[in-house]
């Protein structure tokens, strides 16, 4: 039987791989993958809801911030907490955050994650469920960390504001555990290194209730 210490080491490795998963593809993609086309105008929230809802009341299907982003939400394959979608502007729901009782959304910094850098304290983030209901969060904190060993699954992380160094489990606890909240995670590119650091956007719920389906107003022309 595995010892508690062995189990803890295994879990720490899983957490570490998940925390690094956002960067896995970024480090091997060719440079042209970073070239961005002229962005299309963002839809209104009601228009966006219509494009992502599928009738499933229990599944998150989209994330919306007025003037910033309108992204569908992909799910991680079972048993693969390091998976991050590379499909268009999709973000990925982080299964280990769900296990901790919170909501985590991951994205590559050369795709939807680029929008995370535009978020500011006070912005309202709206999540869309498959049945069209919405839940709103307000950005409360932006946290930036340097990965001290960017390519290692056991890297420690330095808080760029306080200088505090955390191991990967401590960082996971800080950004994904605690009272109910939403965390958006992407990577920080610096000094030519796409795995240099991490950005976490922490948002707290506006209220505890889900809003009813958002209806599109149709007019005759």
- What residue ranges do the domains of the chain occupy? 16-29+40-205
pTM, two decimal places: 0.84
Strand partners, 190: 193
Which DSSP state fits 207? -
More confidently predicted of 1 and 111: 111
Question: In 3D, which of 101, 124, 77, 110 has the Cα closest to residue 186?
Answer: 110
Per the document, the length of the chain is: 221
Residue 81 confidence class, pLDDT cut points 50, 70, 90: confident
Q: What are phi and psi of 177, to 5 degrees?
A: -105, 180
Read off the pLDDT of residues 107-122 as tens digits, 9 standing for 90 and up. 999 999 999 999 999 9
Q: Which CATH architecture has domain 16-29+40-205?
A: Beta Barrel (2.40)
Pairwise CA distance, residues 115 & 89, whole Å:
9
Specify the residue for token string 């394959």.
77
Choice among 70-74, 164-168, 217-221 with the minimum mean pLDDT: 217-221
pLDDT at 213: 64
Q: At what angle do helices 168-176 and 4-24 cross, to 10 degrees?
A: 70
Residue 73 structure tokens: 């939400």
DSSP state, 147? E
Please answer whether residues 150 and 72 qualify as being in contact, where contact means their C-beta atoms are separated by less than 8 angstroms.
no
pLDDT tens for each residue of 173-188 = 999 999 999 999 999 9
């Amino acid at each position: 039987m595995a010892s508690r210490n062995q189990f803890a080491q295994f879990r720490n490795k899983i957490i570490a791989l998940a925390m690094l998963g956002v960067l896995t593809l970024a480090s091997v993609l060719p440079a042209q993958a970073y070239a961005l086309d002229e962005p299309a105008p963002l839809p209104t929230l009601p228009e966006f809801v219509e494009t992502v809802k599928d009738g499933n009341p229990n599944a998150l299907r989209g994330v919306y911030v007025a003037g910033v982003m309108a992204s569908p939400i992909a799910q991680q394959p079972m048993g693969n907490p390091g998976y991050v979608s590379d499909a268009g502007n999709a973000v990925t729901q982080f299964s280990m955050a769900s296990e901790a009782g919170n909501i985590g959304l991951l994205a590559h910094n050369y795709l939807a994650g680029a929008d995370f850098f535009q978020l500011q304290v006070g912005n309202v983030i709206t999540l869309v469920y498959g049945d069209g209901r919405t839940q709103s969060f307000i950005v409360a904190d932006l946290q930036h960390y340097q990965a001290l060993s960017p390519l290692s699954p056991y890297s420690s992380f330095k808080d760029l504001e306080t200088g505090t160094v955390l191991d990967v489990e401590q960082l996971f606890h800080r950004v994904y555990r605690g009272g109910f909240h939403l965390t958006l995670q992407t990577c920080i590119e610096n000094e030519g290194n796409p795995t240099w650091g991490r950005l976490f956007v922490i948002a707290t719920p506006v209220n505890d209730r889900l809003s009813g389906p958002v209806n599109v107003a149709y007019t005759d022309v």
